[in-house]
Amino acid sequence: MADYVLAIDQGTTSSRAIVFDHAGTIHSTGQMEHEQILPRAGWVEHDPVEIWRNVREVVGLALTRGNLTHRDIAAVGITNQRETTVVWEKSTGKPVHNAIVWQDTRTQKIVEELGGSEGAEKYKRKVGLPLATYFAGPKVKWILDNVDGAREKAEAGELLFGTTDSWVLWNMTGGPEGGVHVTDVTNASRTMLMNIDSLTWNEEIAADMGIPMSMLPEIRSSSEVYGKGREGGMVPGVPIAGILGDQQAATFGQAAFEVGAAKNTYGTGNFLLLNTGTELVHSENGLLTTVGYKIGDQPQVYCLEGSIAVTGSLVQWLRDNLGIIKSAPEIEKLAETVDDNGGAYFVPAFSGLFAPYWRADARGALVGLTRYVNKGHIARAVLEATAYQSREVVDAMNADSGVDLTELKVDGGMVANEALMQFQADILGVDVVRPKVTETTALGAAYAAGIAVGFWNGEQDVVDNWGEDKRWTPSMDEAERERLYRNWKKAVTKTFDWVD
Ligand code: G3P
């Protein structure tokens, strides 16, 4: 068998390809950013054609840099930004509109109308999710309502919907010439259209949203052969054998297989997932119920998820919109020029607030300002915002599960930031643990694909390959921790009711 597995990570800001060896270590990578299209306040779009072009490019890069050809690849796994919605024409492969990104809030009215007198909880017992702008179903409805002729074409069976996993898979397996139209259970669990217990599409909800069933991809497990790379493509004949939404992939790559195991990924947003096993837990505290993974015919494993819309992207905003720093890593140095936040708190409710509040009406606020506050304090407030938001989600998880988290596994870009990780441990009051391979998202997708083709034997291989790199232990005293957190909570209340 070939010696490597390739993972494609189609993320919010970039697409990456990473080749892993049997020990789960990185052999080679390729990465390209794509344009963030911001047509109006609250709207965020991507060009699916650019995304597909970049995916092909980064796979080529990873293979060339690793001195490999497709013959060295045993299987391909796909992981992706979840909820981001693409609708395209079956016969041509042309998207009918830009992809509407998970952060986009344009569906607020649709969501309110769908909820009617029952409000945000209307479908929660069925799909595990509150009605919110975050999820894919209402975004499909927006496209069908607003793109000329789209509804007629959809009803005639001419349009397909997919999150970006489906978009990439369909194109990789042949596009208009026999492309496979499939998604996995984890991505389907983010649409608001899948029954969270039976893992089948809910026809009633699809009808409420006016979405023809013919548009929807087939729901499959996270680890099985969906199809093969098309002839003439970048990986001809190679089985594409794993799909996991990026946060579920990171949970898998972190070997969080035990009930009660949790991980927090620090990306554009933060996403904390807690494994609840084969038991479906409905949150009473603002968390989502989501599918964690399903390996072939084995029963699905569920997670509770705390989704935070804006964490790393606040650092990008400081760089791109304010120009206070030139590169994202500079924020750590700037934050180190001061000893504390100087009383400033930055609540980045740019897409409303997700967990545990689910307030579409919230907008960002920088509060506690005095003339004393300088850019160092603001840099600190920006970093601290990530830690406070994560604490809110951990509190909700502890309340839902009745058991307090004892340590938190972390991954993603921001975990290179030592000051943030120490502050995170301080604000949580539990150890924060970083693994040796922090590219757990791509790794998880690689494992799902590799397991399907027998490259790895199963979860035990993932556990055996996982290694601890560094651990941060809380050093802040309890009174200070609670004082800071109390102030944060007060700051959050200042962000409500900002939408007319
Ligand atoms: O739910 C959104 C999430 O999947 C996006 O993740 O890492 O692309 O920001 P990321």
- Following DSSP, what letter does each residue of 3-46 receive, concatenated? SEEEEEEE-SSEEEEEEE-TTS-EEEEEEEE---B--STT--EE
Ligand 1, pocket-test mutation among 8, 10, 12, 129, most atoms within 8 A of CB: 12
> Looking at residues 353-374, what average pLDDT do you find?
94
CA of 445 to the centre of ligand 1 (A): 14
Indicate the pLDDT class of residue 437, thresholds 50, 70 and 90: confident
> Looking at residues 281-299, what average pLDDT do you find?
95
CA of 374 to the centre of ligand 1 (A): 31
The predicted pLDDT at position 360 comes to 85
> Looking at residues 424-435, what average pLDDT do you find?
95
Percentage of residues of the chain with pLDDT beyond 70: 100
pLDDT in tens, 124-172: 999 999 999 999 999 999 999 999 999 999 999 999 999 999 999 999 9
The set of protein residues with a Cβ atom below 6 angstroms from ligand 1 is 11-12, 81-83, 102, 245-247, 267-269, 307
Tell me which residue has its CA closest to atom 1 in ligand 1: 82
Q: If you search the block for the tokens 């052999």, which residue do you land on? A: 27
CA of 247 to the centre of ligand 1 (A): 7
> Residue 336: pLDDT above 90?
yes
> Looking at residues 292-301, what average pLDDT do you find?
96
Contact indicator for 28, 38 with CB cutoff of 8 Å: no
Nearest to 99 by CA among 168, 155, 31, 158: 168
Indicate the pLDDT class of residue 500, thresholds 50, 70 and 90: low
Ligand 1, pocket-test mutation among 184, 252, 268, most atoms within 8 A of CB: 268
Q: If you search the block for the tokens 């939404």, which residue do you land on? A: 245
> Looking at residues 187-203, what average pLDDT do you find?
98
> Looking at residues 328-345, what average pLDDT do you find?
94
Ligand 1, pocket-test mutation among 44, 82, 168, 191, most atoms within 8 A of CB: 82
Q: How many helices (H) and strands (E) does the chain have?
A: 16, 21
pLDDT in tens, 232-262: 999 999 999 999 999 999 999 999 998 888 9
Q: Is 88 helix (H, G, I), strand (E, B) or coil?
A: strand
Tokens of 345: 């708190």
> Looking at residues 434-443, what average pLDDT do you find?
89
Residues 305, 308: Cα–Cα separation, whole Å? 10
**Strand spans (E) along 416-496:** 431-435, 468-472
Q: Which ligand 1 atom is nearest residue 268's CA?
A: 9
Please state, rounded to an integer, the average pLDDT across all residues of the chain.
95
Tell me which residue has its CA closest to atom 5 in ligand 1: 81
**Sign of the CA dihedral with 488 first, then 489, 492, and 494 last:** negative
Contact indicator for 441, 82 with CB cutoff of 8 Å: no
> Residue 399: pLDDT above 80?
yes
Residues 357, 306: Cα–Cα separation, whole Å? 10
CA of 12 to the centre of ligand 1 (A): 6
Q: Which ligand 1 atom is nearest residue 441's CA?
A: 7
Indicate the pLDDT class of residue 370, thresholds 50, 70 and 90: very high
The predicted pLDDT at position 404 comes to 84
Contact indicator for 397, 306 with CB cutoff of 8 Å: yes
Residues 51, 139: Cα–Cα separation, whole Å? 19
Q: Which ligand 1 atom is nearest residue 82's CA?
A: 4
Residues 355, 285: Cα–Cα separation, whole Å? 9
Q: First-to-last CA distance in the chain?
A: 60
DSSP state of 236: T
CA of 130 to the centre of ligand 1 (A): 18
CA of 67 to the centre of ligand 1 (A): 30
Q: How many CA atoms lie within 13 A of 47 on its CB side?
A: 10
DSSP state of 319: I
Ligand 1, pocket-test mutation among 102, 272, 358, 441, most atoms within 8 A of CB: 102
**Strand spans (E) along 68-157:** 73-80, 86-89, 99-100
pLDDT in tens, 450-462: 999 999 999 999 9
User: What are the backbone dihedrals phi and psi of residue 26, each rounded to the nearest 5 degrees, phi first?
Assistant: -75, 130
The predicted pLDDT at position 275 comes to 92
Q: How many CA atoms lie within 13 A of 149 on its CB side?
A: 7
CA of 103 to the centre of ligand 1 (A): 9
Tell me which residue has its CA closest to atom 3 in ligand 1: 81
CA of 117 to the centre of ligand 1 (A): 31
Q: If you search the block for the tokens 């729901």, which residue do you land on? A: 219
Tell me which residue has its CA closest to atom 6 in ligand 1: 81
CA of 389 to the centre of ligand 1 (A): 16
> Looking at residues 8-33, what average pLDDT do you find?
96
> Residue 93: pLDDT above 90?
yes
> Residue 473: pLDDT above 70?
yes
Indicate the pLDDT class of residue 75, thresholds 50, 70 and 90: very high
Contact indicator for 481, 429 with CB cutoff of 8 Å: yes
Indicate the pLDDT class of residue 492, thresholds 50, 70 and 90: very high
Tell me which residue has its CA closest to atom 7 in ligand 1: 267
Q: If you search the block for the tokens 């496979």, which residue do you land on? A: 180
Sequence-ordered list of residues with C-beta below 8 angstroms from that of 268, at least 6 positions apart, any chain: 11, 12, 13, 103, 310, 311, 312, 313, 316
> Residue 361: pLDDT above 90?
no
Q: Record the pTM.
A: 0.92
Nearest to 363 by CA among 41, 30, 25, 11: 41
Could you tell me which residue, 464 or 86, shows the higher pLDDT? 86
Contact indicator for 6, 62 with CB cutoff of 8 Å: yes
The predicted pLDDT at position 402 comes to 80
> Cα Rg for the chain, rounded, in angstroms?
22
